[in-house]
Chains A and B, each alone.
Chain A
Amino acid sequence: MSTENPELTALLNQNYQHGFVSDIDADSLPPGLNEDTVRAISLKKNEPEFMLAWRLKAYHHWLTMVEPVWAHVAYPKIDYQQMVYYSAPKLKPTLNSLDEVDPELLRVYEKLGISLNEQKKLANVAVDAVFDSISVATTFKDKLLSMGVIFCSFSEAVQKYPELIQKYLGSIVPYTDNFFAALNAAVFSDGSFVYIPKGVRCPMELSTYFRINAASTGQFERTLIIADDDAYVSYLEGCTAPMRDENQLHAAVVEIIALDRATVKYSTVQNWYPGDKEGKGGIYNFVTKRGACRGVKSKISWTQVETGSAITWKYPSVVLQGDDSVGEFYSVAVTNNYQQADTGTKMIHIGKNTSSTIISKGISAGFGQNAYRGLVRINPGATNARNYTQCDSLLMGDRCGAHTFPYIEVKNPTAQVEHEATTSKIGADQLFFCQQRGLSAEDAVNLIVNGFCREVFRELPMEFAVEAQKLLGVSLEGSVG
C-alpha cells in the first residue's frame, strides 16, 4: 500500500501567521561585535560597573571559545560580525502607562494576539513584552508589587535591585558554560526578572512575549527567576518573529533558582519563524535554560512546545541540589520541512531522595530532523535518587528523521533509573479510521498528534494548551506520508 498521501501533502502550505514586519523607528547599534559594542550596550542601559565588568569578562571568554558542533544539526557558519547586537524601538524615555507606548507597537502585539490592555482577555496574566531587545511594558506590576512579587524587565531590575542581580546573575548558567551563553552574557540587552518572596504564591501566571522585529538583529535576552522559601510561580514564555529570508540568531539564557520548598513551573511555546518550505530563512534558536533546586523539597518543572525556528538547540535542565527536590521536563518538539531540533534536558541529581521525570515527544515531518539528547546523572551522594524517562518519536513520512541520544551516568548504587523509548509512524490505519468516522484528513492528523502529545499538553496552563494545540496543527498541516 502506498505510504504517501497526496491529499495531505497538498495541505502543507499554510503560511506562518506571525510573519509580518512592523515599521517602527528603531535605535540600533551598527553591525559587528567587539569590546566597544559591549561597552555601548552597557552604557545605553546605564548599567552599574559590576555589570560592565561581568559582560567584558564574558566577551573575552567568548573569544577563546569555538561554536559547538556536537548537536545533530547542520547550518552554514554564522558571521558574528554581520549581526546587529542592539536594536530598540525608539520610545519616550519613561513610560508611565500604556498610553505612552508606540501605538504601532501595540498594534503588533494585537496582531500577535496578546493585548497589553489590562482590561482585556489576559485579565489574569501579567505580560512582560520584549520587542527586539528591550522590554516595552510590564502589566500588573503594581498589583504584584503589593505582595512583594517583583516582575519587571531585566534592565529595570539592574537599576532597582542590583544586589539581587549581583547575587544570582550567572550563578546557574555562568558565562563560561557554553559558547552561546558566553555570547549572551556579553551582549544581552534585556529580558525578564522575577522574584517571589518567602511564602508567597504568585496569584497569576507571569508571562513574557518575545518578538524579533528588526532585520539582521540577534536577540539575546536573559531571564532570571528567583523563588524564595515556600514560594510558587508559574511562568509562561511565548515567541514569534517576522518572516525573513536570512537566518536570525536567538541566543537566550534562562536561570531559575528555587529555594526551600519553592516551586517554579516554566512553560514555553516557541513559535519563532521556522523558515520557508525550502528551508530558507528562519530563526536559529540556541538557548541555555537551567534551574537549580537549591532548597530542600524544591521543584522546577519545564514544559516546552517547540514548533518554530529553523534550528532549535536547547536543553532546559535541573540541578537537584536540595534533598527531596524534584525536576521535571515535558517537551513536544516539532520539525517540519527543513527544520532541525536537537533538544532534551539534563537532570543532575546531587541531593538525597531527588527525583526527576522526563517526557519527550518528538514529531518529525517533511525533511525535519528531530533529536532528543538527555543526560541523567546520579552523583555519589544522591542516595535513593529516581529518574523516569520516556522518549517517544512520531514520524510522518519517509524523509524525516528521529534520533535519541540518552546519556545515563549513575554513581550511586541506590539509584532507580528507568528509560523507555518508542518510535512510531503515524499510521495510515489511524488516519483512515478517523476519516471513516467523518473527520477530514487535516483534523485526523491533528487529533492523532494531539493525542500523542497529551502527556505534555496537560502540563500547560489552559490558555497555553489551547494555543499549543492550534500551533501544532498549523506546523504540521499536510505533512503525512
Chain B
Amino acid sequence: MLTIKDLHASVDNKAILQGLNLTIKPGEVHAIMGPNGSGKSTLGNVLAGREGYEVSGSVTYHNQDLLSLAPELRAQAGLFLAFQYPIEIPGVSNVYLLKAALNAKRKAQGLPEVDAMDFLSSVKEKIKAVDLDQDFLYRSVNEGFSGGEKKRNEILQMLILEPSLIILDETDSGLDIDALKVVADGVNSLRSPDRSFIVITHYQRLLDYIVPDFVHVLANGKIVASGGKELALKLEDQGYGWLDNA
C-alpha cells in the first residue's frame, strides 16, 4: 500500500523529517506517537502533498510515485488526511463541499456524478453515525463549530469519501470520551482488508478503541522505536525519556 524510504522534509533550511522509513500493508493500522514538534503533522502534510516543504526520499503508494502527484490527485487516489486543526470555509455549506469532493473523486475514477437524492440519503445516514445534527450539513464548513464538532466533521468526510489510506492527525485531541468513541466507531466501521490507517496520537487512550497493528515512535524526524500495542502502554507509563538512551 505505502512504502516510505529515507524521507526528508525541511522548511526554510530547518530539517523536520530526517530519514524516515515506514512500510504499510493493506488492512494495517499504524499508530504514530511522539513528543510535540517531532514532525508528526509534517509527515501527514508531506504525504498529502502540502506545499512549502523541501522534500527528498521516495514514497510509493499503490505502485505510484506519490511525491510526484498534485495534492488533489493523491486525494482522488484514495489518500485522506483528517486535519489536526480543521479548516473553516465561510459561505460554503458542508453538504456542498462533501458533494464536490465526492464528485471530484468519482470523476477521476471515470464515474458519473453522484445522483443528488442518493447522495443526500447516504449523507443523512452517515451524519447520524458521527452524532451530528442534520443542520450541520447546511452550515458553513467548520465555521462556528466546536472543537469536537470539527473533528466529527472530518470523520464524516472520511465516511463519505471512503478512502483507502487514512491519516488521522491527532483526531482524538480535545475530545471527551463520548466523542472519542464516535471517532473510533467511524474509523472501525471503515476497517477492511484493503484499507490502511496511520493514526497520529499523543494518547494511548485512543488506541484502546482503535487497536493498532503497529506502534511507532517518531522523534527528531525519525522513527526511533517500533512495536505492537504494548509500546503505547510503555510510552504512557514511562514517557519518551527512556528513548534517548535506547
Known: A436-B83, A439-B104. 16 other contacts (CB 8 A): A1-B51, A428-B51, A432-B48, A433-B89, A435-B49, A435-B75, A436-B74, A436-B81, A438-B72, A438-B76, A438-B108, A441-B70, A441-B72, A444-B72, A447-B97, A448-B92
**Is B91 in contact with A437, judged by CB distance below 8 angstroms?**
no
Question: Separation in Å of the B219 CB from the closest CB of chain A?
Answer: 23
- Residues 431-481 of A contacting B (Cβ, < 8 Å): 432-441, 443-444, 447-448, 450-455
Contact partner, B89, options A1, A5, A441, A451, Cβ 8 Å: A451
Q: Are A1 and B52 in contact (CB under 8 A)?
A: yes
Report 19 cross-chain contacts, Cβ distance below 8 Å, ordered by A residue: A5-B51, A428-B51, A430-B89, A435-B72, A436-B75, A436-B80, A437-B101, A437-B157, A438-B75, A438-B105, A438-B161, A440-B104, A441-B72, A447-B89, A447-B100, A448-B89, A450-B91, A451-B90, A451-B91
- The distance in angstroms between the C-alpha atoms of A447 and B80, with both chains bound, is 20
Interface residues of B in 210-225 (CB under 8 A from A): none
**Which residues of A does B touch, CB under 8 Å?**
1-2, 5, 7, 427-430, 432-441, 443-444, 447-448, 450-455
In the assembly, what is the distance between CA of A1 and CA of B161, in Å? Answer: 29
Q: Write the B96-131 contact mask toward A (1 if CB under 8 angstroms, else 0).
A: 110011001100100000000000000000000000
Q: Which residues of A contact B88 (CB under 8 A)?
A: 430
- Write the chain A residue with the least CB distance to B74: A436
Using CB atoms, name the residue of chain A closest to B77: A438
With A1-B11, A447-B97 as contacts: A429 and B87 at CB distance below 8 Å: yes
A5 to B49, CA, bound (A): 13
- Which 10 pairs, one residue from A and one from B, show the smallest C-beta to C-beta distance? A451-B91, A1-B52, A451-B92, A454-B91, A438-B104, A437-B101, A433-B87, A435-B71, A438-B75, A435-B72
**Contact of B140 with A by CB under 8 A:** yes
Query: Which of chain B's residues have a CB closer than 8 A to the CB of A434?
Result: 89, 97
Residues A443 and B87 in contact in the complex (CB < 8 Å), given A432-B50, A435-B49, A451-B92: no
Chain A contacts of B86 at CB under 8 A?
A: 433
Number of interface residues of B (CB under 8 A): 32
Q: What's the Cα separation between A346 and B8 when bound, in Å?
A: 57
A429 to B83, alpha carbons, bound, how many Å? 10
Are A453 and B91 in contact (CB-based, < 8 A)?
A: yes
Contacts known (A1-B11, A428-B51, A447-B97); A437 close to B140, Cβ less than 8 A? no
Q: How far is the CB of B152 from chain A (nearest CB, A)?
A: 16
Q: Is the Cβ of B92 less than 8 Å from the Cβ of A447?
A: yes
Assess the B100–A443 pair: CB atoms within 8 A: yes
Check if A443 sits within 8 Å of B104, measured CB to CB: yes
- B101's nearest neighbour on chain A, judged by CB, is A437
Contacts of A453 in B (CB 8 A): 91
A439 near B91 with CB under 8 A, answer no
A448 to B143, CA, bound (A): 13
Closest to B79 in A: A436
A-chain residues with CB within 8 Å of residue B70 when the two chains form the complex = 7, 435, 441
B89–A436 CB distance below 8 A: no
CB contacts (< 8 Å) of B161 on chain A: these are 437-438
On whether the beta carbons of B52 and A2 are closer than 8 Å, the reply is: yes
Q: Report B22-57 CB contacts with A as 1/0, cut-off 8 Å.
A: 000000000000000000000000001111100000
Q: In the docked arrangement, what's the CA distance between A5 and B52, Å? A: 10
Q: Which residues of chain B come closer than 8 Å to A428, judged between CB atoms?
A: 51-52
Q: Is the CB of A433 within 8 A of B52?
A: no
Q: Which residues of A contact B80 (CB under 8 A)?
A: 436
Query: Given the interface contacts A2-B52, A5-B51, does A439 sit within 8 Å of B72 by beta carbon?
Result: yes
Chain A residues, CB < 8 A from B72 = 435-436, 438-441, 444
Q: When the two chains form their complex, are residues A436 and B92 in contact, meaning their CB atoms are under 8 A apart?
A: no
**A455–B52 touching, CB < 8 Å:** no
Kindly provide the distance from the CB of A358 to the nearest chain B CB, expressed in whole angstroms. Answer: 18
